[in-house]
Amino acid sequence: MKFLFKAVFFKPLYNLLVWLVVILPGHNVGLAVILLTILVRLVLFPLQHRMSKTQSTLRNLTPTINELKEKYKDNQSEQARQLMVLYKEHGINPFVGFLSLLIQLPILIALFLVFQQGFEFQSATLYAFISAPPAVETLWLGINLTATSYVLAIMAGVTQLIQGYFLKPTLTPQKNTTTQSGFSQQLQHSLQLQVRYVMPVMIVIIALRLPAAIPLYWVTSNIFSIIHEAWVRRSTPQNHS
């Protein structure tokens, strides 16, 4: 399994990074990391776009979904059937998010390992047609990408916070929490608030312990997601029911 992961994910990404460093002016690692991140996001774009459209549609359908849950709160099987009818009517695949995560997770792990390797490229990991650059520029806008960076760590947290506002639905907690439905809404609202605000803080803390190339990847990926999500929201019809 380890050999398969290295052959399918790690080695291709590692060699792509080296190739980008070789062809870019000044052999700049920062530009290579940004381009590599964008290329990976473009490869994953069809699946990510479908997931984003599904999430946007679900956000617009939140009032209708809540009505169905309240209407059939005493009949779980009928509630599930009605929800599936609603999903089918709007072309929603509730499993697309899990599929997207399943595909992206090994790629994200491989990227993390690639950037963690540092930039003293080893010939043993390179393909025969890829040569290590004679020199590598690890400074990007005055930031040493092999050391930790407070600036990039904070930027990673801020962009994650902005992305959270796009990706998480806005919930208004119900005043009546005595019913199971009301408690469920409150719990969901609480969990989403924690993810929205705690996750960026955790990313900053983690990024401060890693080479700056990794938070640079985070920042680039988050900005890509923010632009993509803004575009999806503009292009998805709003539900005014």
- Domain ranges within the chain, ordered by starting residue: 2-235
Q: What is the pLDDT of residue 178?
A: 45
Q: What is the mean pLDDT of the chain?
A: 78
Give the pLDDT mean for 236-241: 53
Model confidence at 154, pLDDT cuts 50, 70, 90, reads: very high
The pLDDT tens digits for 134-147 are 788 888 899 998 88
Cα–chain center distance at 127: 29
The bridge status of strand 143-144 relative to strand 139-140 is: antiparallel
Degrees to nearest 5, angle at CA 169 with 165 and 174: 120
User: The tokens of 39 are what?
Assistant: 């290329």
| Dihedral pair phi/psi, residue 28, rounded to 5° | -80, 120
Q: What is the pLDDT of residue 236?
A: 64
Q: What is the pLDDT of residue 47?
A: 76
* Distance, first Cα to last Cα, the chain: 50
| Pairwise CA distance, residues 60 & 66, whole Å | 11
Question: Does the structure show a pLDDT above 70 at 186?
Answer: no
**Helices 11-23 and 29-43: crossing angle, nearest 10°?**
130
The pLDDT tens digits for 26-53 are 889 999 999 999 998 898 888 777 777 7
| Pairwise CA distance, residues 62 & 90, whole Å | 13
| Dihedral pair phi/psi, residue 56, rounded to 5° | -65, -40
CB neighbours (10 Å) of residue 48? 21
Question: pTM of the prediction?
Answer: 0.76
